[in-house]
């Protein structure tokens, strides 16, 4: 586990799949990223953490302080897909891809997103076959862009793409 502030980053457990799916949907919904609300076609992808975990690394941020029920709150999660994984949309040979980074709206501002992204970079560096990490983000997500830039990512216009009309995702790449 990677300690970070008052939370830890670690692999998701199967018992947390549903909770991470809920956090992911809530994060995207409240962030205005699900254009059709809960009816958005991307919603089932966010919810299906078991599918993500079957072919990728899924990490979660978990509060170190137990709640009233004795459990630890799940603050957010991210998927790290290596080239060849069905979860990889952008990753080519020698690349890993950060996907579905989500932070519970109540936990935003605590550095959870930055810690999750940094953990993905660290795991990618540990994989000797990985030479770079790629990701995409909506062009107007300035806060996310700042996080990625601080981690060393650079804009990679060759990775830009539109999943649906009128939505442009900007690509970013970090050479390891």
Q: What is the pLDDT of residues 104-134, one digit of tens each?
A: 999 999 999 999 999 999 999 999 899 999 9
Q: Which of 17-21, 71-75, 155-159 has the lowest mean pLDDT?
A: 71-75
Count CA atoms within 13 Å of residue 133 on its CB side.
Answer: 24
**Which H/E stretch holds residue 4?**
strand 2-4
Across 67-80, b (16+ Cβ under 10 Å) vs e yields eeeeebbbbbbbbb
The H or E element containing residue 170 is strand 169-175
Whether this prediction's pTM lies above 0.75 is answered by yes
Per DSSP, the three-state class of 141 is: coil
Strand ranges, E, within 56-148: 57-66, 72-82, 95-103, 132-138
Tens digit of pLDDT for each residue in 5-37? 789 999 999 999 999 999 999 999 999 899 889
DSSP 175: E
Q: Average pLDDT in the 42-63 region?
A: 97
How far apart are alpha carbons 43 and 48 in whole angstroms? 9
Which residues share a beta bridge with 137? Answer: 170
Q: Quickly count: other Cβ atoms within 10 Å of residue 168's Cβ.
A: 13
The two beta strands, 169-175 and 132-138, are antiparallel
Query: What average pLDDT does the segment 85-89 reach?
Result: 96
Higher pLDDT: 100 or 166? It is 100
User: What's the pLDDT at 17?
Assistant: 98
Give mean pLDDT, residues 74-102. Answer: 97
CA torsion, ordered 39, 147, 104, 91, to nearest 10 deg: 50
């Amino acid at each position: 586990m990677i300690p970070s502030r008052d939370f830890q980053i670690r692999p998701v457990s199967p018992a947390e799949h549903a909770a991470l799916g809920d956090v992911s949907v809530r994060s995207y919904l409240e962030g205005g990223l699900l254009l059709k609300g809960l009816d958005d076609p991307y919603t089932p992808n966010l919810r299906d953490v078991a599918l993500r975990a079957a072919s990728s690394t899924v990490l979660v941020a978990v509060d170190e302080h137990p709640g009233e029920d004795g459990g630890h709150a799940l603050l957010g999660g991210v998927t790290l897909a290596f080239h060849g994984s069905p979860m990889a949309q952008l990753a080519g040979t020698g690349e890993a891809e950060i996907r579905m980074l989500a932070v519970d709206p109540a936990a935003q501002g605590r550095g959870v997103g930055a810690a999750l992204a940094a953990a993905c970079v660290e795991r990618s560096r540990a994989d000797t076959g990985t030479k770079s990490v790629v990701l995409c983000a909506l062009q107007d997500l300035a806060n996310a862009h700042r996080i990625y830039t601080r981690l060393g990512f650079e804009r990679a216009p060759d990775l830009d793409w539109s999943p649906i009309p009128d939505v442009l995702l900007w690509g970013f790449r970090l050479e390891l």
